[in-house]
Amino acid sequence: MNLHIRVAEKNDCPRLLELIAELALFEKAPEEVTVTLAEFEDAGFGEKPVWKAFVAEVDGSIVGFALYYVRYSTWKGCRMYLEDLIVTEAYRGKGVGMLLIKTLVKEASEKGFSGMLWQVLDWNEPAIGFYKKLNASFDPSWINVSLSKEQFSDFDFSDLG
């Protein structure tokens, strides 16, 4: 297998979105992917990029990627937040994910980040097993909280002036 890891480029975005759709289907939430190609490209390669990704290629085809952004912790400083680590099903268990993780850890070290963090669904046993092999720490005490764009409209901003 001729595996190569490189920094993602704008022209990779359609394939990355295909892999995101594959992940969403695996996570039983395909309807949750609402980002458009234009939004995705702008967020990664526009005037103010907010994410960076590394892609894994086998014989010129992208078979996986890892996308991260910088998260600031008032307790720890700048940290790498791994938004997605995706390896297409046919290439899982072949070392692709490990090479992507090593690439991320090297990047985090070189940039002086204080650590790297991410989330995993509690039922995703293959991913949990993989992360345990990394000797990653698991913290079950935090609960995910979010507001959607649609929920923003529930707020009355009149008191803000």
- Give me the CATH number covering residue 75: 3.40.630.30
Q: Is the pLDDT at 92 greater than 90, yes or no?
A: yes
Task: Let me know if 110 is exposed, middle or buried by CB neighbors in 10 A (0-12, 13-18, 19+).
Answer: exposed
Instruction: Give the pLDDT confidence score for residue 70 in this predicted structure.
Output: 98
Q: How far apart are CA 53 and CA 69, in angstroms?
A: 9
pTM for this entry: 0.94
Verify whether residue 131 is a known catalytic residue: yes
Which candidate, 56, 43, 106, places its Cα nearest to that of 80?
A: 106
Q: Is the pLDDT at 1 greater than 90, yes or no?
A: no
Q: Is the pLDDT at 49 greater than 90, yes or no?
A: yes
Question: By residue range, what is the domain housing residue 51?
Answer: 3-160
Instruction: Give the pLDDT confidence score for residue 161 in this predicted structure.
Output: 85
Q: pLDDT band at 139, cuts 50/70/90? A: very high
Mean pLDDT of 84-113: 97
Mean pLDDT of 37-41: 98
Q: pLDDT band at 29, cuts 50/70/90? A: very high
Catalytic residue among 68, 81, 91, 131: 131
- Dihedral angle of Cα 74, 79, 83, 88, to the nearest 10 degrees: -160
Number of domain units in the chain: 1
- 58-91 confidence digits (pLDDT tens): 999 999 999 999 999 999 999 999 999 999 999 9
Task: Name residue 87's beta-bridge partners.
Answer: 64
